[in-house]
Amino acid sequence: MQESKYTPISRGWLGFWSLVYSVLLIVGAVGLGFALTFGRPTQVYRVLVDRRAFAAIQTRVNNATLAVAQGQGLELEATTNVTPEAALKAALRTGLAISSNFNAVPARTPMVVPAYVTTASTAKTPLDLTPLTQAITAELVKAAKDQGLAYSGTMRQQTETKVATMIQTKITRDLMLQGWGLVYPMLTLMVQTAAIVGAILALIVLAIMLYCSHSWQRWFKVAGRVTYVIAFLGGLGAMIAGSRTFVALLGNLGGLDQIIWQELFHQFAPTWQRVAGITVVVGLSLALVGQVLRALQRRRASN
């Protein structure tokens, strides 16, 4: 590369491709950060069964069940817990794995609980909530007995039927088929694609920037500065996105309570910050190489 070939036109093109590189770096870094968090069902499940998020999920299911029972004349105490933790977590694990795979059972994953999978041709989703429903109705029987309430015959039969219908409606239809089940697989595909495509295009643009720079020293300096500046701003963005105040603005998405999104963003933010931090180090390293080459160039010119 010859320094004399660097002209105002070259400088203009270098600036233009630096802007393009900035956009691609943002797309690729955000895609990578989301792919390492939202794109991994195991990570999402870890957050969903965390104390605050799981309590919100369990409370929502429990309250809906108590409301159905009350409608049939079974007046259980408002604090009664009729939603078994183990059964609900198994349903969450399996449903999350299926939803991440576009409503199909993944070929290989430890997340799927066989008892919660159905192969019936008439089923709209492979997720079978029968074990969860049976566990809940068993808890209703136990709770009614403990509280000395009559619960048998037509009342019990109608209650169990309506509980099963409610569970199918709220989880299978509202979450799996219309809410989270539609949002999650598309989000996973988008972030993985953004990370891969963004990285490939960024490398191509870096090659073009090298051609426009007409020197390794200038290329290292410009590419490094752009990288660490964008990464620093990305780190600030990750800190803001992880705050509960920011997530509160999102409301309920995909049929999930706001508190669940708060926990997802709050616990995933450190990973995004680490991605930004590593990128900052890479950018500073590139800029440092550029400065070293510049110093060597000046020393040779002075001799």
Whether residue 303 lies inside any domain: the answer is no
Q: What is the rounded average pLDDT of the residues 109-116?
A: 90
Burial class for 152, CB neighbours closer than 10 Å (0-12, 13-18, 19+): exposed
Q: What's the token pair of residue 236? A: 């600030």
The pLDDT, as a whole number, for residue 251 is 59
Whether residue 300 lies inside any domain: the answer is no
**Tens digit of each residue's pLDDT (9 = 90 or more) over 185-241:** 998 999 999 999 999 999 999 999 999 988 899 999 999 999 999 999 999 999 988
**Do 165 and 52 belong to one domain?**
yes
Nearest Cα neighbor of 104 from 176, 49, 170 is: 176
CA 179, 185, 191, 197 dihedral sign is negative
Residue 122 is classified by DSSP as T
**Do 255 and 222 belong to one domain?**
yes
Nearest Cα neighbor of 105 from 126, 90, 124, 122 is: 126
End residue of a domain, out of 145, 178, 211: 178
- 53/114 Cα distance (integer angstroms): 24
| Angle between helix 180-213 and 8-35 (nearest 10) | 150
| Whether 44 contacts 38, CB under 8 Å | yes
Query: Given the structure tokens 């900035």, which residue do they identify?
Result: 22
Whether residue 301 lies inside any domain: the answer is no
**Tens digit of each residue's pLDDT (9 = 90 or more) over 239-257:** 988 877 776 666 555 556 7
| Whether 298 contacts 217, CB under 8 Å | no
Q: Quote the domain boundaries for residue 122.
A: 42-178
Whether residue 183 lies inside any domain: the answer is no
Whether residue 58 lies inside any domain: the answer is yes
**Tens digit of each residue's pLDDT (9 = 90 or more) over 81-103:** 999 999 999 999 999 999 988 88
- 60/65 Cα distance (integer angstroms): 9
- Per-chain mean pLDDT for the chain: 89
End residue of a domain, out of 178, 208, 243: 178
**Do 29 and 46 belong to one domain?**
no
The pLDDT, as a whole number, for residue 170 is 87
**Tens digit of each residue's pLDDT (9 = 90 or more) over 121-165:** 888 889 999 999 999 999 999 999 999 998 888 999 999 999 999
Distances from the Cα of 125 to the Cα of 20, 185, 243, angstroms: 42, 14, 35
Distances from the Cα of 41 to the Cα of 32, 58, 264, angstroms: 15, 19, 12
Whether residue 302 lies inside any domain: the answer is no
**Do 63 and 23 belong to one domain?**
no
**Do 29 and 65 belong to one domain?**
no
End residue of a domain, out of 137, 158, 178: 178
pLDDT at 64 over 90: yes
**Do 173 and 60 belong to one domain?**
yes
The pLDDT, as a whole number, for residue 131 is 95
The pLDDT, as a whole number, for residue 301 is 75
Dihedrals phi, psi of 195, to nearest 5 degrees? -65, -45
- 283/26 Cα distance (integer angstroms): 13
**Domains identified in the chain, total number:** 2
Q: For residue 42, which amino acid is it?
A: T
